Structure 1
């Protein structure tokens, strides 16, 4: 990737002494007392020194990420700051977050009293003024078109979650708002997404960060083979070993020992002379960052899942935000350090979208070929290997997303489509129409970087995390349409926010999976199951502006319990999307808020084309 303008957030320091700790950063005293954002939050988000990646780069090699994060300690708990109380006598640092919760019609405050006081409902149509949105727009590193008012209203709620904990969003505050491009997405089963990540792995030049809550089965073997192939290529080219960090889900952070590698189908170091592999366990989401240039967010954990999943690939400055998030998830020491830690990339300027590596729209006659994959497991059917349109973990590597699309996006035959979707329990196809082809790989047209914001969740959904605030604010500020697809939808504040949107005249469509309610059975913030939530919603507002549908596989004519969807996406007014590893649930989740009507339109069309939910899944009132 080339370009002439470095990211202003990550300008290469002339010396490591320039990477001073955050204590040396001066606050913006010109930030008015009547401003929407608390002065501390405003200054913190605009401080290039309050970045964990940058702090880690200033420390000796092998320093734990936790040590770098600790250099932000004076800001992590503002409620303990003497300076804060001197500047705001008698004011709790929770004022900002309470403002958010009040605006988003929460039934209870998060005050420390034993009996929380009720909060009056907000006034309809509450939005930020032009002056306030201008203030919020100053809190991001936008490299393309300016953020839309809808995006800024949602982003403002996310910023306010930092009031008493700047690392609540599991990303350094200055990296919360950024920009990027979306060259390719995949809406399909786990094998297709795993193979795409494997393609990125074998193409890496310097370093890789991979994390997944699960690491098992055929998907794990595909990535293990990709590491072997990467090592082979590195050795053949006589290059320095590629540094690879793998994070596997666990309740607590720790390094794994060599004897544990086999349990995750990971190769031993003797098998990887061209790769320097370090593996760690801890809370994490499904994220991949390749050479600090490409990032992937997906719902697909590394396992033999049978559901419909969604993956999006991102490039541009937003990758640095996801890089920072991945470092914070790692938390411990990196041995060796990531080679690019002190060398952030530069990016094209506005109007130079062509400088990014867009997939070619048509490969006919260009001689693009897949690179054969060396493997010794799971042979395909017949002496010539797997046939076209058949799902198999064993597949060749593709040199580009366009080449991948050329041989994957050909599933128009009902029998072939049925085989492709039968990655778990085999289900006989019931929809045998020969209609629009199932196209897992979605290639997006070239575009300048668009506004994005990182909205993460570090634990079980609650109303103080940035992700939940983004979801609730998106519902609150919607004016025309809301589309949501999630595995289950029964989080009461989200249900209430959607009902209020419908009462304002917003059209809402929700796709969910039948009988996929794993947790929160006795949590008062959740309905017992999605079916109950759907019934109550339809009873409350009717079906004129609310449409709920059970996920129906592209090869089915009715919902089936064997066919599930883990897709996690929200599209509001056809302009702003929320995409990532999960929207509501348990455990860490990494997501992006994206401000681009064209991306929303393409994603919406691809989701409709790759499932029959809209055609056959509607829940009757």
Structure 2
């Protein structure tokens, strides 16, 4: 079941470095296991330098634990990613088990500490990618199977606005199973389980719980892009029905949330090229819902053209024209009844400088693009995770998100 609950929620908005540091704060406290998953991996960025330093510190700390007898076995660290470079993706194995990066590649190719520096840790680094365009786009960190940090940020150099949501409670076990199904091996979690009954029970006096749903999006190796079928007539077509998307938990939940919204919808997404989402926005406005969209100009243009045969700006312009026609067709009585509206904003950096008022969230720079993925429905259901409102995230990429119910957390986000 994907139905669950969460507690002790903590929302962070910043950039890639501050989001990574949010996960690092929990990694430093790990005593048994760290499961770190991201999509893109840059071997020389500030986020990786911070993560590498944290792993070195964790190794030293755990070696001391083993020397004192506090720990009897190495601390498990599993690092997973999908994209390193164009060449890596072109040459990547299609084997479902993926590629294991041996310790002799960690320093020079991945920018990680050496095996000697990480003595005391049981480290495995794995990548998965499926040609032509199926990246595993999820980004999350599980620490000791008790806390999960769900992020929008990669291990990357991009100076983008990012966010993360830290969750405790039963939802962590759902993420653990998701990790095992994608990145681990069957039965791996059971074979390495150390949690005691007390650790599985919420502590006395724990904060209120929130109904929470895990929303995965399995990858589809066939991108089903019309352009490819035009160039290659024998390219297979996926049959979902006209205008339909793969019926995954992510897609199904979000489309139903669009249909069920009665007052407001807020969307923040790097790109908006998923046409069923655009249609859902239009239908919501037409029935009286106030919709606000925050997206970006000129972001990942090549990816948009390849996977969607379109661009965010094109879809937004067409949507605005359709919404304007709603008012032209309506009579005075219908206008009085219909209070729906559409507001579209393009994220842009503020021109500040230094550490002054226009500086970014870390006090040093201003984020140039927004990489946040967020939906809020009627001010009481918030969806956060890795899924964009673009065609890639709804068709070909592996994603993972959570839907959290509660006006408190929705208002904070």
Q: TM-score range by the shorter chain?
A: 0.7 to 0.9
**1:423-474 deviation per Cα after TM superposition (whole angstroms, max 9, x unaligned):** xxxxxxxxxxxxxxxxxxxxxxxx4111111111122694322211222111
Q: CA deviation at 1:599?
A: 0.3
Hey, what does 1:213 align to over in structure 2? Answer: 39
Q: CA deviation at 1:337?
A: 8.0
Residue 287, structure 1, aligned to residue 140, structure 2: yes
What's the secondary structure of 1:567's corresponding residue? Answer: coil
**Alpha-carbon contact 1:231-1:241 (below 8 Å) kept:** no
> TM-score normalized by structure 2?
0.74
2:58 paired residue among 221, 227, 230: 230
Higher deviation after alignment, 472-481 or 209-218: 209-218
User: 2:191 & 2:121 partners in 1: Cα distance?
Assistant: 12
Hey, what does 1:277 align to over in structure 2? Answer: 123
**Alpha-carbon contact 2:180-2:186 (below 8 Å) kept:** no
2:246 paired residue among 463, 468, 490: 463
Q: CA deviation at 1:234?
A: 1.4
**Alpha-carbon contact 1:502-1:541 (below 8 Å) kept:** yes
Q: CA deviation at 1:583?
A: 3.1
* 1:185-204 to 2 correspondences below 5 Å: 185-204=11-30
**Alpha-carbon contact 1:201-1:208 (below 8 Å) kept:** yes
Give structure 2 stretches of 5+ with no counterpart.
84-91, 130-135, 224-244, 328-339, 353-357, 359-365
Larger Rg belongs to: 1
Higher deviation after alignment, 338-347 or 576-585: 338-347
1:329 paired residue among 182, 186, 197: 182
Residues 331/346 of structure 1: CA separation in 2 closer, same or farther (3 Å cut): closer
Hey, what does 1:242 align to over in structure 2? Answer: 75
Aligned residues between the structures: 330
Residue 452, structure 1, aligned to residue 305, structure 2: no
Hey, what does 1:567 align to over in structure 2? Answer: 372
Residue 346, structure 1, aligned to residue 205, structure 2: no
Residue 514, structure 1, aligned to residue 297, structure 2: yes
**Alpha-carbon contact 1:208-1:245 (below 8 Å) kept:** yes
1:534 paired residue among 316, 338, 349: 316
User: 2:81 & 2:316 partners in 1: Cα distance?
Assistant: 35
2:110 paired residue among 256, 264, 270: 264
**Alpha-carbon contact 1:178-1:452 (below 8 Å) kept:** yes
**Alpha-carbon contact 2:304-2:311 (below 8 Å) kept:** no
Residue 317, structure 1, aligned to residue 170, structure 2: yes
Q: CA deviation at 1:298?
A: 0.7
Q: CA deviation at 1:314?
A: 0.7
Q: CA deviation at 1:273?
A: 2.2
1:473 paired residue among 251, 256, 275: 256
User: 1:562 & 1:575 partners in 2: Cα distance?
Assistant: 28
**1:32-87 deviation per Cα after TM superposition (whole angstroms, max 9, x unaligned):** xxxxxxxxxxxxxxxxxxxxxxxxxxxxxxxxxxxxxxxxxxxxxxxxxxxxxxxx
Q: CA deviation at 1:293?
A: 0.3
User: 2:19 & 2:123 partners in 1: Cα distance?
Assistant: 22
Residues 518/340 of structure 1: CA separation in 2 closer, same or farther (3 Å cut): farther
Hey, what does 1:577 align to over in structure 2? Answer: 382
> TM-score normalized by structure 1?
0.50
**Alpha-carbon contact 1:507-1:545 (below 8 Å) kept:** yes
Residues 564/551 of structure 1: CA separation in 2 closer, same or farther (3 Å cut): same
Hey, what does 2:362 align to over in structure 1? Answer: none
* 1:382-461 to 2 correspondences below 5 Å: 447-459=207-219
**Alpha-carbon contact 1:207-1:244 (below 8 Å) kept:** yes
User: 1:325 & 1:206 partners in 2: Cα distance?
Assistant: 19
Question: Which gives a bigger RCO, structure 1 or 2 (Cα 8 Å, sep 6+)?
Answer: 2
What's the secondary structure of 1:519's corresponding residue? Answer: helix
Q: CA deviation at 1:342?
A: 6.9
**Alpha-carbon contact 2:211-2:405 (below 8 Å) kept:** yes
User: 2:106 & 2:273 partners in 1: Cα distance?
Assistant: 38
Hey, what does 2:411 align to over in structure 1? Answer: 601
1:488 paired residue among 260, 271, 279: 271
Q: CA deviation at 1:340?
A: 2.5
**Alpha-carbon contact 1:180-1:315 (below 8 Å) kept:** yes
**Alpha-carbon contact 1:467-1:583 (below 8 Å) kept:** no
**Alpha-carbon contact 2:15-2:367 (below 8 Å) kept:** no
What's the secondary structure of 1:271's corresponding residue? Answer: coil
1:553 paired residue among 349, 366, 388: 349
Q: CA deviation at 1:338?
A: 6.6
What's the secondary structure of 1:456's corresponding residue? Answer: strand
